[in-house]
Amino acid sequence: SVTIRRVDYTPPAFAIDKVELEFDLAPLTTTVTNRMQLRRAPGASARDLVLHGEDLELVRAEIDGKPWTGVQVSTDGLTVSNVPEQPFELTLVTTNRPSANTSLSGLYVSNHNFFTQCEAEGFRRITYFLDRPDVMTTYTVTLRASRADYPVLLSNGNLVETGELPDGRHFARWHDPFPKPSYLFALVAGKLVAREQRIRIRSGEEKLLQVWVEPHDLPKTEYAMQSLVHSIEWDEERFGLPLDLERFMIVAVGDFNMGAMENKGLNIFNTKYVLADAETATDIDFSGIEAVVGHEYFHNWTGNRVTCRDWFQLSLKEGLTVFRDQEFSADMAAAGGSPEAAAAARAARRIDDVRGLRQNQFAEDAGPMAHPVRPDSYVEINNFYTMTVYEKGAEVVRMYQTLFGRDGFRKGMDLYFARHDGQAVTCDDFRAAMADANQRDLTQFERWYSQAGTPHVSATAQYDAAARTFDITLTQGYGPASADAKATQKGPLLIPFAIGLVGSDGKDLPLRLAQDGQVLAEPQTTRVLELTETEQTFRFVDVAEEPLPSLLRNFSAPVIVSYDYTDAQLTFLFAHDSDPFNRWEAGQRLATRALLSLADAAARGDALSLDPEIVAAFGRVLRDSTLAPAFRELALTLPSESYLAEQIEEADPAAVHAARLFFRRALANGLRDDLMAAYEQNRVEGLYEPSAVDAGRRGLKNVALSYLADLDDPDDAAELARAQYDSADNMTERSAALVTLLQIGPSAARAPLDDFYLRFEKEALALDKWFGMQATRRGAPGERVLDDVGALMAHPAFSLKNPNRARALIFQFCMGNAAQFHATDGSGYAFWAEQVLALDAINPQVASRLARSLERWRKFTPALREKMRAALERVAAGVQSKDVREVVEKALA
């Protein structure tokens, strides 16, 4: 397979001044007429024009209206030889086969309607083109199709003409005035209806918003529309960025490889991120819709108006847009409440985001697919839509804001748009805008883009009572990494390191650094230290008593911090830290430490025991009614088994599972009454609302229920869960009750599981939950959940071709049920290999995501490791796509 390298970038040899596309849509064979106005790029002298193309049939080629015979078709494109010196018009007529396209990339059919997906390289499956993001042009698109079968015809931009054609066909013509790269092209055709809303933006212009879905789904579009309106308002308010088109459309499709796609003015969404009502969607689903609607909308500026020069720069748009959607979601969660409630809601979002990063991105950074935020090479770009590019990329963007404040960050954004609107640029251009707008040299900051691996910062502290000074020494470096990742690690990073000092009364001490000089009028209680050297000592002065340091507040940089806290100190911070993130963090550190030693004992076959002080510390937080329920829910949620396994040199999933279960049972037995009280006190009365406050209460109540189900005697919990299931008027309560019943045992869950199926047989997204909760159920000792998964694969409602369904059952088992997946007989791995190969033949993008679930195989005990290697080798021997091949070859290397 061919490796593409960042250093090999060369600008395009031709520019496309404009393109006109005509589609004669039919599911078996669609004909595309592509008329491009081309000219050589300044300084370029190539005689031949080389276009990308895949799975196309060329019907005709013309230059300036005359047939052109100098064309050569290959498996990955078309070479047009000896093209004119002067600007010319190239017309290409091709056909493609939408109904045979199971990859869901390019033009495809889903439930009899047409959709496209062009990022990253799907446009070349529609027509021959310079399918690279630095070739931007304006598009005029004419769609022709049967009116009866495809009454709605949509593409990017503005609708300029519609009309009738012979034989019951009709047409629509769309023009997008904004130059765009081909990956942002989209069309949709079919039987769809729209929820519409007109809004006025700050300039006074009126805009039309539409959310298009299949007719029976129309009632489920209210929240997506509301989220879109909020997104538009927020981007104007926070960044001064207005909606630039006359209309903005979102279309939902049930067959989709990812979450959603930001095509200019015509976002295409997985139904999962559009459709919601109380009956079928959970609080988490509602907040996912808000985040994804925001994310795709925000791309209109960060991605579409300013795009990437090449795919190595992917984080330019993705890291920045994730940061923007995180800020949006935090602001939305905080809106309307008291300042305390707002702060708690904001903290809960931050904790959730960081938990995801640490669980998934840190593991990626330590494995064979580790790469910098701006990768240096790839075989298949679809494999680089990763946690590193997205989530670590967002943390890198967040660090600019931490360093320069909100105003400084806004200045940087303004300069970025002033310089680059309408251009395809690089991560360096973004960094330069931030540096210039804030008059800072950010040369060292470049390493955040070029170095792979998670930085480690270790801290030591020294208090001098006589001098009243407190010295904190920070040392940075990297942990073990692959040779490729190590090769990128060239030097120390600029790490914004937020710190507070907590006094013996639990309150923050005022902070003054030695370098501050004169006494600050209003001393702060959190300072952002700038760590730039491998080792650096910061001296705080006038420190009245020996403090307890609260390190990396609000997770001010994506690093791993080590400090030699005692359990008692962690318990103290868990009870007092004014920084809610670090308060949560103290609980996680306490739990992780105990869980790892329990896992160690379990692996050795020793008896397990847990210090009652730890149970008491969790009890205090659970009972503390001054804390927001959402925070208490997060505090009581233990690190996942996969996160814990990552912390162990040679992971034994069965031991980790036993440790976590023991810990949960100890909390349940020790805090039974408090859990019962939390359950009762957090019932939400009245009409269901997906607000942050109500969701927080439901979350705490349901986490309490789940602990109660782990009591030695779970009968009360079973009764509560069954009553909750039966009386639920919303999916959050109903699904939480059912998951708890599954946790208690299959017999407790049997009847409600059947009821759930009958109730939601026709609701695809709810049915995904039904599959998912069975795939992730804990299983009694010796029981094989895989047998259920196998049976569910044969269920008439299961289809491997539908990514949501495959993710619900197969991915959930392989990635969300560690103890069962890692069964010692290797059955989970054999199942994995079979499914990766089956998916590979249908949809390589989805297959390759599943393939990644074995990439950390070297971390496990020798017996498991060998079985994993065998499964990987089986896939390597049978793989067809370069997507999966890249993953398994890197894993085995």
Q: How far is CA 214 from the centre of its chain?
A: 26
* Size of interface with ligand HT7, in residues (CB under 6 A): 13
Residue 508 interacts, among Zn ion, ligand HT7, none and using kind-specific CB cut-offs from 5 to 8 Å, with none
Q: Which CB, 176 or 325, lies closer to ligand HT7?
A: 325
Q: Which CB, 52 or 299, lies closer to ligand HT7?
A: 299
Q: Are 492 and 450 in contact (CB under 8 A)?
A: no
Burial class (CB in 10 A: 0-12, 13-18, 19+), 408: middle
Tell me which amino acid residue 530 is: E
CB of 601 to ligand HT7, least distance (A): 43
Q: Would you say the C-alpha torsion 391, 392, 394, 395 has a positive or negative sign?
A: positive
Residues 282-341 touching ligand HT7, rule: CB under 6 A, are 295-296, 299, 318
Q: Which CB, 104 or 472, lies closer to ligand HT7?
A: 104
Residue 119 interacts, among ligand HT7, Zn ion, none and using kind-specific CB cut-offs from 5 to 8 Å, with ligand HT7
Distance, CA of 18 to CA of 140 (rounded, Å): 8
Residue 776 interacts, among ligand HT7, Zn ion, none and using kind-specific CB cut-offs from 5 to 8 Å, with none
Distance, CA of 225 to CA of 289 (rounded, Å): 10
Q: Is 196 a catalytic residue?
A: no
Q: Is 705 helix (H, G, I), strand (E, B) or coil?
A: helix
Q: Is 522 helix (H, G, I), strand (E, B) or coil?
A: coil
Q: Are 368 and 388 in contact (CB under 8 A)?
A: no
Residue 313 interacts, among ligand HT7, Zn ion, none and using kind-specific CB cut-offs from 5 to 8 Å, with none
Helices 314-334, 222-239: axis angle to 10 degrees equals 100
* Size of interface with Zn ion, in residues (CB under 5 A): 2
Q: Which CB, 394 or 598, lies closer to ligand HT7?
A: 394
Among 30, 101, 117, 730, binds ligand HT7 (CB under 6 A): 117
Among 154, 261, 634, 700, binds ligand HT7 (CB under 6 A): 261
Q: 498 - beta bridge partners?
A: 528
Residue 385 interacts, among ligand HT7, Zn ion, none and using kind-specific CB cut-offs from 5 to 8 Å, with ligand HT7
Residue carrying the six token digits 């060292």 = 444
Residue 884 interacts, among ligand HT7, Zn ion, none and using kind-specific CB cut-offs from 5 to 8 Å, with none
Take residue 312 and report the two structure tokens written for it: 């190595």
Among 20, 24, 54, 119, binds ligand HT7 (CB under 6 A): 119
CB of 74 to ligand HT7, least distance (A): 24
CB of 272 to ligand HT7, least distance (A): 12
Applying CB under 6 A, the span of 259-267, 406-414, 664-672, 674-682 interacting with ligand HT7 comes to 259-267
Q: Which CB, 259 or 745, lies closer to ligand HT7?
A: 259
CB of 119 to ligand HT7, least distance (A): 4
Q: Are 892 and 873 in contact (CB under 8 A)?
A: yes
Residue 257 interacts, among Zn ion, ligand HT7, none and using kind-specific CB cut-offs from 5 to 8 Å, with ligand HT7
Annotated active-site residue in 119, 121, 214, 296? 296
738 φψ region: left (φ > 0), alpha (ψ -120 to 50), beta (else): alpha
Residues 520-559 touching Zn ion, rule: CB under 5 A, are none
CB of 267 to ligand HT7, least distance (A): 9
DSSP 811: I
CB of 324 to ligand HT7, least distance (A): 11
Distance, CA of 709 to CA of 166 (rounded, Å): 66
Residue carrying the six token digits 């295409």 = 268
Q: Which CB, 116 or 282, lies closer to ligand HT7?
A: 116
Q: Which CB, 259 or 826, lies closer to ligand HT7?
A: 259
* Bond preceding residue 601 cis, omega within 30 of 0: no
Residue carrying the six token digits 């200045």 = 411
Q: Are 744 and 780 in contact (CB under 8 A)?
A: no
What are residue 194's phi and psi, to 5 degrees? -125, 140
Distance, CA of 722 to CA of 741 (rounded, Å): 7
Q: Which CB, 397 or 557, lies closer to ligand HT7?
A: 397
Residue carrying the six token digits 């130059």 = 179
Tell me which amino acid residue 57 is: E
> CA dist 360 to 317, 322, 356, 386, 856, Å?
20, 15, 6, 10, 11
User: Which helix (H) or strand (E) element contains residue 263?
Assistant: none
Residues 218-257 touching ligand HT7, rule: CB under 6 A, are 257
Q: Does 94 bind ligand HT7 (CB under 6 A)?
A: no
111 φψ region: left (φ > 0), alpha (ψ -120 to 50), beta (else): left
Number of C-beta neighbours around residue 452 at 10 A: 25
Residue 395 interacts, among Zn ion, ligand HT7, none and using kind-specific CB cut-offs from 5 to 8 Å, with none
Q: Which CB, 14 or 185, lies closer to ligand HT7?
A: 185
Going by C-alpha positions, the residue among 583, 566, 577 that lies closest to residue 501 is: 577
CB of 302 to Zn ion, least distance (A): 9
Q: Does 258 bind ligand HT7 (CB under 6 A)?
A: yes
Q: Which CB, 318 or 674, lies closer to Zn ion?
A: 318
Residue carrying the six token digits 């212009």 = 205
Applying CB under 6 A, the span of 115-123, 170-178, 540-548, 761-769 interacting with ligand HT7 comes to 115-123
Q: Which CB, 13 or 381, lies closer to Zn ion?
A: 381
Residue carrying the six token digits 């009632």 = 219
CB of 260 to ligand HT7, least distance (A): 6
Applying CB under 6 A, the span of 258-266, 396-404, 560-568, 800-808 interacting with ligand HT7 comes to 258-266
Distance, CA of 319 to CA of 315 (rounded, Å): 5
Q: Which CB, 106 or 492, lies closer to ligand HT7?
A: 106
Residue carrying the six token digits 């009364």 = 505
> CA dist 405 to 323, 435, 444, 528, 738, Å?
14, 13, 19, 11, 45
Q: Does 262 bind ligand HT7 (CB under 6 A)?
A: yes
Applying CB under 6 A, the span of 113-121, 447-455, 633-641, 769-777 interacting with ligand HT7 comes to 113-121
CB of 261 to ligand HT7, least distance (A): 4
CB of 385 to ligand HT7, least distance (A): 5
Distance, CA of 130 to CA of 124 (rounded, Å): 8
Q: Does 186 bind ligand HT7 (CB under 6 A)?
A: no
Q: Is 139 helix (H, G, I), strand (E, B) or coil?
A: strand
Stretch 296-335: interaction string toward Zn ion, x if CB under 5 A: ----------------------x--x--------------
Q: Is 857 helix (H, G, I), strand (E, B) or coil?
A: helix
CB of 268 to Zn ion, least distance (A): 13
Going by C-alpha positions, the residue among 179, 429, 200 that lies closest to residue 316 is: 429
Distance, CA of 438 to CA of 546 (rounded, Å): 36
Going by C-alpha positions, the residue among 403, 514, 495, 392 that lies closest to residue 449 is: 392
CB of 181 to Zn ion, least distance (A): 14
Q: Does 361 bind ligand HT7 (CB under 6 A)?
A: no
Among 99, 208, 236, 385, binds ligand HT7 (CB under 6 A): 385
Q: Which CB, 116 or 454, lies closer to ligand HT7?
A: 116
- The residue number whose beta carbon is nearest to ligand HT7 equals 258
Residue 261 interacts, among Zn ion, ligand HT7, none and using kind-specific CB cut-offs from 5 to 8 Å, with ligand HT7
Longest dimension (CA), the chain: 95
What are residue 65's phi and psi, to 5 degrees? 85, 0
CB of 132 to ligand HT7, least distance (A): 15
Q: Does 120 bind ligand HT7 (CB under 6 A)?
A: yes
- The gap between the terminal CA atoms of the chain, to the nearest Å, is 15
Residues that bind Zn ion (CB under 5 A): 318, 321
Residues that bind ligand HT7 (CB under 6 A): 117, 119-120, 257-258, 260-262, 295-296, 299, 318, 385
Active site residues per annotation? 296
